[in-house]
Amino acid sequence: MSERFVDHRGRRIELGNVIGKGGEGTVYEVVGQVGAVAKLYHSKTVPDIKAAKLKVMVEASNDQLFKVSAWPKATVHSETNRAIRGIIMDRVSGYREIHTLYSPAHRNSAFPKADWGFLLRTAENLARAFSVLHRNGQVIGDVNQSNVLVASDALVKLIDTDSFRVSFNGRSFPCEVGVPLFTPPELQGKNFRDVDRAESHDLFGLAVLIFHLLFMGRHPFSGRSTGSGDGPTIEQAISEGRFAFSVNAARLQMQPPPHAPQLTLVPRPVAELFEQAFAVPAAASSRRPSAQQWLDGLSRISGELNVCKTDRGHRYGRHLSSCPWCDLVTRGSPNFFVTVSVQATLHSGPRTIASFQLRINGLKILERSFLTASSGVSNTAPPEIVIPPEIPLQRPITQTIAVCVAVIGILLCFTTLIPIGLPIVFGMAIWWAVMELDARDRYRGANSMRNELLARLRRSTQEMRRAIEVAEWERAEVKKDILSRVERGKTGLGEVVQRAKAAFTQYQRLDGEFAAQRSQLEMKKRELQLDAFLRQFFISDAQLPKIGLGRVATLESFGIETAADIEDYALSLVPGFGPVLASTLLAWRSALASQFRFNPSTALPQGELNRLLQRQTQQRNQVFNQAAVLTSEAERCCQRVNTELQGCWSQHDELSRRLADMTHRWTAADGALALATRRQ
């Protein structure tokens, strides 16, 4: 290039190779400035208002703005007349337009490793970029899917900054363009040249972009009308505040499109931010969540994500009890993260159920023979029971003398000495009786302690006998309980083990089933090649008549992004697409299909193989997880039963020991009582 250039400080600028061209200008490398590029406008005469805006942008520039946007660092002037010809800014490389990330069809090729956690981090960085811009007093104005770029590490960069609404040092330059799909209700249908764009207007576009990221490219105002007719266009729905995913969607006569995530995908605080951002009337614009509020809300989610056990490519918030992506797939939705799932499968290595089988085979219910329980022999010596011998009745010699005198008296009565004999007899009888009573009193006194001991021993043996009978009954009951628990435990464990073994068998059969599915795909190779061919063509790139950005967004919200997605039934579900527009799309699809050439020697399309692998992996993981759960359940069942049985066996052994001890004591007491009784 023969023309020479300088920057706003008069320093020479040497342009290098052309990096790219656009409708407004050409982008060059800047020799000697690593990482910098120069955007040279096609027109050699930049309007004065634009030139003044670029100068103010350079004055307002700082490191914060450079970090989040392609903000001008310097203006480029013609060396001859010093007229502004362009700007110098940081080179933005390795980034893609944000719609290639939030669009499921684009994401499969542009960001194949991006899971929902990646989308969430991108949304955080997007909110952070808006927050930085707003803190510096700047407004984007024309928020849309083309002026936001995303890198492979989820960093965000704002471009086309020379179209922003710029304010600095009392000077302000408007943004005169906009995209209706990202325009708030209070600006719908207005001429942007007559509007002073404000931060609250940006916040509506920010909320739409965040919704796109988190809800698989669905537009928040594109849904099915539950009222009469085809329902509103996206622009009309925005004007009327008919947020299709709102908790009040029924009152708004709207509902989400089919196969779309519900608002419950995000925690309630974030869902309320969406409700607040999309509310009407226009006065609600002052209450739209700030970029910092979005950043705070999203940051709380990103640190608390679950990984799906069935499909390791799925991430979701911890406020949910199950995987919402698997639920969508179950209800007929495509797997929005099929490429992530495949990557996770390829790097996870094989999964085997052999360890589960070993664990199941090692489970046993605790059983013992009652003969091997405590034998009933007491470990303690019985107490020594000593009963003193009985003291015999001892009569004094005077009683014998009294008897002898009485005999003499009786003999005298048979003689003539009766008057003498009778008194002697009666006297001796009385004396003997007195002596007898005294002897017997002494006898009872001497044996009273022995008799008391014998009485206590009899009562004790009777009580011990009753205690032995109670203990024997209790042990018999515990034995019955043990046998019952063993039977119930075997039955319960057997049921779980049978289900686990059925899962093992099913898992082992999967390889054969997968081979059969692969064979079925081979039989449909032509159909699959055609589908892969048509998926290369995006409706958004086709520029079809009467199908502008609004209708493209509506189609994308209903999962129709490529020529392969165009079918009569799918189009019949999209509001606003009658026979004319449907015919246009179907004709475009037919024209593309006519260019297709089948090659039987070509391998199956990688996309279809990925979907097959993902389905197989999901099914394999489901059965694997089922086997894991059943194995753990069987172990818990066995452990619970064995713990209960261990307690029962301990109780049985304790009762046996008590019974043996009581029997031992009773035997000793009963023997002592029998011996004492025989001595009487």
pLDDT category of residue 391 using cuts at 50, 70 and 90: low
Whether pTM exceeds 0.85:
no
Query: 154 and 60 share a domain?
Result: no
Q: Cα torsion at 24, 30, 35, 40 (round to 10°)?
A: -10
Query: 284 and 326 share a domain?
Result: yes
Average pLDDT estimate for 573-578? 89
* Amino acid of residue 571: L
Q: What is the 3-state secondary structure (H, E, C) of 264-324?
A: HHCCHHHHHHHHHHCCCCHHHHHHCCCHHHHHHHHHHHHCCEEECCCCCCCEEECCCCCCH
Question: Distance between CA atoms of 46 and 42, rounded to whole angstroms?
Answer: 9
Query: 101 and 81 share a domain?
Result: no
Greater model confidence, 177 or 617:
177
Strand partners, 148: 158
Of 166-170, 372-376, 382-386, the range with the lowest mean pLDDT is: 372-376
Query: 56 and 141 share a domain?
Result: no
Query: CB count, 10 Å around CB of 83?
Result: 11
Is beta strand 84-90 parallel, antiparallel or unpaired with respect to 74-78?
Answer: antiparallel
Note the pLDDT of residue 373.
41
Strand partners, 38: 28, 88
Question: Distance between CA atoms of 222 and 575, rounded to whole angstroms?
Answer: 9
Query: 145 and 108 share a domain?
Result: yes
| Phi, psi (deg, nearest 5) at residue 301 | -75, -45
Q: What b-and-e string marks burial along 440-474, b requiring 16 or more CB atoms within 10 Å of the CB? A: eeebeeebeebeebbeebeebbeebeebbeebeee
The token pair that represents 192 in the structure block: 């942007």
Of 8-17, 93-102, 306-315, 457-466, the range with the lowest mean pLDDT is: 457-466
Is beta strand 305-307 parallel, antiparallel or unpaired with respect to 12-13?
Answer: unpaired
* Amino acid of residue 532: A
Note the pLDDT of residue 393.
61
Give the model confidence (pLDDT) of 183-223 as tens digits. Answer: 999 999 999 988 999 999 999 999 999 999 999 999 999 99
Query: 77 and 103 share a domain?
Result: no
Count: domains in the chain? 3
Note the pLDDT of residue 383.
58
* 628 belongs to a structural domain: no
Mean pLDDT of the chain: 86
Give the model confidence (pLDDT) of 510-537 as tens digits. Answer: 888 888 888 888 888 899 899 989 999 9
Query: 339 and 191 share a domain?
Result: yes
* 568 belongs to a structural domain: yes
* CATH number of the domain to which 17 belongs: 3.30.200.20
Query: 152 and 128 share a domain?
Result: yes
Query: CB count, 10 Å around CB of 617?
Result: 23
Question: Distance between CA atoms of 305 and 317, rounded to whole angstroms?
Answer: 5
- Is pLDDT above 90 for 6? yes
Give the model confidence (pLDDT) of 222-235 as tens digits. Answer: 999 888 777 899 99
587, 584, 541, 590: which is closest to 562 by C-alpha?
A: 541
Question: Distance between CA atoms of 14 and 550, rounded to whole angstroms?
Answer: 43
Containing structural domain, residue 564: 525-617
Query: 219 and 71 share a domain?
Result: no
Domain boundary among 21, 56, 90: 90
* 409 belongs to a structural domain: no
* 438 belongs to a structural domain: no
pLDDT category of residue 372 using cuts at 50, 70 and 90: very low
CA distances (Å), 425 to each of 240, 395, 398, 437, in order?
142, 19, 15, 18
Residue 173, SS3 per DSSP: strand
Query: 10 and 121 share a domain?
Result: no
What burial class does residue 251 get, using C-beta atoms within 10 Å of its C-beta: 0-12 exposed, 13-18 middle, 19+ buried? exposed
Query: 184 and 36 share a domain?
Result: no
